[in-house]
Structure 1
Amino acid sequence: MLLKFGFCLPIFAWPGARLFRAPAYPSLDAATTMRLGRLADQLGYHSLWVADHLMLGQDEAILEGWTTLCALAGMTARAQLGVIHYNHAFRHPALTAKMAATLDQISGGRYIHFIDYGNQPREFLAYGLHPDDAVEERIAQMVEGLELTLKLWSAREPVTFAGRYYAVAGAVCRPTPVQQPHPPVWIGEAHPMLLDAAARYADAWNSVPVGLEALRQRLAELRAACARVGRDYDAIEKTYEVQILIASDRDELRRKLDAMLALIPPGERPADVVAFARGEAAEPPAWMRETWLIGAPDEIEAQIRRFAELGVTHFMLWFTDAPDESGMRLFAERVLGKSGA
């Protein structure tokens, strides 16, 4: 089975007790972040990803995702490029179609369209971009917006579209994307409406880190959604976003965790992580082993294999030791080349 591995750029820093996504990044530095993206492309990672938020992390400081992705396209040559959970509430779907087609042209056909409904209302409310509609309403808007985007990508004539939420009159999207019939469409998560949308429109479905058992249940729900609309479940690629901490041995693993813990006020450090980092526990906490990839290269390979047995073929990796390059380099040297792991 051919496996793909993506590198998620730390476009925000988040040292703190949650140990979330970028816990070893003391303070955001744009040049450092972009250097890591270029290095990932050079090391052979199959895809490069940026988050889509306007306020997140330490001091709410985060690079804007689409701008970052476009800059990254000019700095790289091989990897596919995508925005994680591209937020429909931030950009009109007709403009999205034009932006995405342009990026696909500039990058030589490397764009992935990973669309989402926008699950952080505080951001689009703060920026005055969208009303605080119910989740189901926002998903319905996302689906109609995706239909409009797809129509613009494929139309040979000017598009007039009058939907419940969006309308265009004589809109033209040329040049069209390089990838035909269109860039790959990804939809993620387990809300019933999103699963139905994935069954109808998606080339791939994605899950955030939930662990093996929860993922197995989510995939069963995706299979049921496919059955409802007559879609071949196996035609949809399964992808998984996950945090990773890889080290050559236990001592190095503990040193990396200790460096993350040092950025957290003493009273807020998770006791179970501290116990492992100090050598008082033989294994990382159960929650880490369930929802991270963690350990030496052979342990990481075994963990990946278990997800692959469920059908996952594309892993989006958040290297929690970033901006330290050692983890992404070790993974590239010892795991990435074994794409049949």
Structure 2
Amino acid sequence: MIDFGYCLPIFSGSQDKMARTPMLHSIDDLESNIVSSVENLNFNSLWVADHLSMPNSNSILEGWTTISWAAGITKKIKLGNIHFNNLLREPPYTAKIISSLDVLSKGRMNLFFDGGHPGTKNEVTTFGFNFLNDSERIEMLEESICLIKSLWKSPTKNFKGKYYFVDDIFFNPLPYRDRDIPIWIGTLTPSSSTNEWNERISQTVAKFGDWWNLTPIGIESYKIANQEMHNVFKKEKRDFESIKKSVELEILIAQDEKELASLKEKIRLNNNQEKFFGNWDEWSKTNLLGTPEQISEKISEYTDLGVENFMLWFLDSPSLNGAEIFSEEIIKKFN
């Protein structure tokens, strides 16, 4: 079964350089019916970004607050934050809030954990948190994972690491029915600015990950990244088949080419910067663009490479038209 995830539009993306939410003018447009509708459309998971600010002055909701709100609206859909930033919360607190919401949601939480990748430096420092070098931040992440997993296994714990410690802590509640909450760890779209980070955090994926996620990436680049990760797993003496694979993609879907052209024009009119996200041909190399048939073919290329989860940003949100088409034409086909 393929897990199709919906990325909730929690920031106004109009005039943003990145394409994720180009039709969302204001966070006031985010209504609870979007969350409940996504669950009714049979999406398997709901994902919320974890950022404190945007590169521009656009508003963004805090991620943990928002996923908690969504948990109260839904009943069955799995829940998680995208790149939940270890630098913004102490690990015992992270363990506590995740396990608490896991109990309240009856076992629906995921922990997609991030060490504070290079793109988060500005928001981390402007909000008063420390931003150490890449190696130190990844050491902090790995130590956090060890501490959090130990807290989830035993109510009483002492822990003293290089960066974190707890002294005779009594930790309850444990996760729902003492289950193992899945740990997701992500690498970034390959580029000169991310390659060094990716090389280091790939080792963290191999050591600790239940899921490996990649931000927008085309098929050919994914094949290369897949092989590189396979090599890392081999060095760590772990079976590569033991990790589940996920990609985060943006999507623009319509029933036919005429409707697709109309959506493109609406997005263009709503974002009058030429630098918005380049051109559609370039954008579609690493994302999903087209009719249901075209998108189905592209998804099959990813699933043939072992991808089991898709985190999807629908460019027409807050409209649910794209999500409805996807549910009817894609989710039913694959599941």
Q: Given residue 53 of structure 1, which amino acid in structure 2 is its aligned partner?
A: H
Matches within 5 A, 1:48-59: 48-56=46-54, 59=57
Aligned residue-pair number: 324
Alpha carbons 1:15, 1:264 under 8 Å: kept: yes
Counterpart residue number, 1:171 = 169
Which residue number corresponds to residue 7 of structure 1?
6
Report what 2:133 is aligned to: 134
- Distance (Å, rounded) in 1 between the aligned partners of 2:179 and 2:30: 35
1:234 matches 2:241: yes
What amino acid does structure 2 have at the position aligned with 1:310? L
Equivalent-residue separation in structure 1 for 2:158 and 2:276 (angstroms):
56
Q: Does residue 196 in structure 1 map to residue 195 in structure 2?
A: no
Cα distance in 2 for partners of 1:269, 1:114 equals: 28
Q: Match for residue 122 of structure 1?
A: 122
Task: In structure 1, give the amino acid aligned to 2:102.
Answer: D
Return the match for 2:231 from 224, 227, 230.
Answer: 224
1:173 CA displacement:
2.0
Gaps of 5+ in 2: 189-197
Q: Does the CA-based 8 Å contact 2:19-2:276 persist in structure 1?
A: no
Match of 2:85 in 1: 87
* Residue from 251, 255, 262 that aligns with 2:258: 251
Larger deviation: 329-338 or 186-195? Answer: 186-195
Residue 333 (str. 1) matches residue 331 (str. 2): no
- How much identity, in percent, do the aligned residues show? 33
User: Structure 1 CA distance, aligned partners of 2:125 and 2:275?
Assistant: 30
SS in 1 for 2:25: coil
Structure 1 residues 211 and 160: alpha-carbon distance in aligned structure 2, compared to 1, 3 A threshold? same
Task: Write the deviation string for residues 123-166 of structure 1: whole angstroms up to 9, x where unpaired.
Answer: 121111x223112211111111111001100114x111110000
| Amino acid in the other structure paired with 1:150 | K
Corresponding residue for residue 159 of structure 2: 161
| Structure 1: 5+ residue stretches without partners | 274-283
Cα separation, partners in 2 of 1:63 and 1:92, compared to 1, 3 Å: same
| Contact 1:117–1:142, Cα closer than 8 Å, also in 2 | yes
CA shift, 1:180, in A, is 4.4
Q: Give the corresponding residue for 1:99.
A: 97
Q: Deviations over 1:302-323 (max 9, x none)?
A: 0100011111010000001101
Residue 319 to residue 54, structure 1, CA distance change in 2 (3 Å): same
Cα separation, partners in 2 of 1:93 and 1:19, compared to 1, 3 Å: closer
Choose the corresponding residue for 2:219, options 187, 212, 219.
Answer: 212
More displaced 10-residue stretch of structure 1: 173-182 or 331-340 = 173-182
Q: Cα distance 1:269–1:74, how it changes in 2: closer, same or farther (>3 A)?
A: closer
SS at match of 2:270: coil
Q: Decide whether the 8 Å contact of 1:153 with 1:176 is kept in 2.
A: yes
**CA shift for structure 1 position 110:** 0.3
Q: What's the TM-score, normalizing by structure 2? A: 0.92
Structure 1 residues 105 and 153: CA distance shift in structure 2, 3 A? same
What is the aligned partner in structure 2 of residue 74 from structure 1? Answer: 72
TM-score, length-scaled by structure 1: 0.91
Q: Say whether 1:311 aligns with 2:301.
A: no
CA distance in 2, matches of 1:179, 1:58: 42
Change (3 A) 1:101 1:269: closer
> Structure 1's 241 and 99: CA in aligned 2 closer, same or farther, altered over 3 A?
same
Q: For the structure 1 residues 239 and 58, does the alpha-carbon distance in structure 2 shift closer, same or farther, using more than 3 Å as the test?
A: same
Q: What does residue range 4-43 of structure 1 map to in structure 2 within 5 Å?
A: 4-16=3-15, 18-29=17-28, 31-32=30-31, 34-43=32-41
Code of the aligned partner of 1:316: M
* Distance in 2 (alpha carbons) for counterparts of 1:132 and 1:112: 25
Alignment-mate amino acid for residue 234 of structure 1: E
* Partner secondary structure for residue 152 of structure 2: helix
Task: Report the CA distance shift for 1:195/1:29 in structure 2 as closer, same or farther (over 3 A).
Answer: same
Shift of 1:18: 3.0
Please give the alpha-carbon distance, in whole angstroms, between the structure 1 residues aligned to 2:30 and 2:170: 36
Instruction: Please tell me the residue identity of whatever aligns with 2:209.
Output: A
- 8 Å CA contact 1:27–1:58 kept in 2: the answer is no
User: Quick check: 65-74 or 192-201, which moved more?
Assistant: 192-201
Does the Cα contact within 8 Å between 1:15 and 1:58 map onto a contact in 2? Answer: no
Deviation at 1:16, TM superposition (A): 2.4
Q: Report the RMSD for the aligned CA atoms in angstroms.
A: 1.7
